[in-house]
Amino acid sequence: MPLKDTQSEADTRQLPIDRVGIKDLRYPIQVRDKGGSTQSTIATVQLTVDLPHHFKGTHMSRFIEVLASHGKILHVDTIRAILHQLTHRLESDCAHVDFEFPFFLEKFAPVTKAPGLMDYTVRFHATVKKGTLDFIVTVIVPLTTLCPCSKAISARGAHNQRGLATLAIRSKKPMWIEDMIRLVEDSASSELYSQLKRPDEKAVTERAYDNPVFVEDLVRNIAERCRQDSNVTWFRTEAENFESIHNHNAYALIEKPDGP
């Protein structure tokens, strides 16, 4: 006997659902880097669709089937195809995919050139709605900030701390992850490194001291660089400083709407 399909039964509450699906699925993916290589990493995946009011539920297994149809390792180039398959398989007008993954860059210490790997968090958020694709790339970058006020009023030194800056963009053509990271790091007091010898540590701390920025300066620096890039059509940047002498964090955000 055929099994009962409860999800496909009618619902009479007249309430559509904006997003329904699966989240926190770990899946191997491959991402191209600016140097022409392919980086293999592990993404945390969320797949959702809209659910019309007359359906009781969605078919969760079909989300996995769509992913599995693209092989054991996903490529970023397949995101559009995944979205279109989701709308078709689940009879929806709108589908969303979110991939969050660590992205690694080899960086060399500023003086000794000692090599080390830095990891950054990257997110891809893509939506297809009635055939139209929207794609947002986000990078989360650890960095150093040094307080301008502390430098101005202190006889010796100035307080500094690590922080996180987040940059999300829409663009006319794809922007390399490495270029987004560089844009953010150039906006801070100093970038971070995984390996520093004593000459490198001296150079980094002096660089930060010579380039103090408030959390407000940081988001404005990032926003100004984005505003000068004609390829960027929308951006949102956030910064959070893990304050070293306060019992709280400092936070700022700037968002530029779509359009000129």
Q: Look at residue 127 and tell me if it is in a domain.
A: no
Q: Look at residue 39 and tell me if it is in a domain.
A: yes
Tokens of residue 200, six digits: 């490198």
0.75 exceeded by the pTM? yes
Do 172 and 223 lie in one domain? The reply is yes
Question: Angle CA(7)–CA(10)–CA(15) in degrees, nearest 5?
Answer: 95
Handedness of CA 127, 130, 131, 133 (dihedral sign): negative
The answer on pLDDT for 29 being more than 70 is: yes
- For the stretch 157-176, pLDDT in tens is 899 999 999 999 999 999 99
Q: Which of 157, 155, 179, 148 is nearest to 250 (CA)?
A: 148
Q: Which of 164, 186, 177, 170 is nearest to 253 (CA)?
A: 164
Do 99 and 188 lie in one domain? The reply is no
Q: Look at residue 46 and tell me if it is in a domain.
A: yes
- For the stretch 124-170, pLDDT in tens is 999 999 889 999 999 999 999 999 999 999 999 899 999 999 999 99
Do 42 and 154 lie in one domain? The reply is no
Do 79 and 113 lie in one domain? The reply is no
Do 102 and 150 lie in one domain? The reply is no
CATH code assigned at 86 = 3.10.270.10
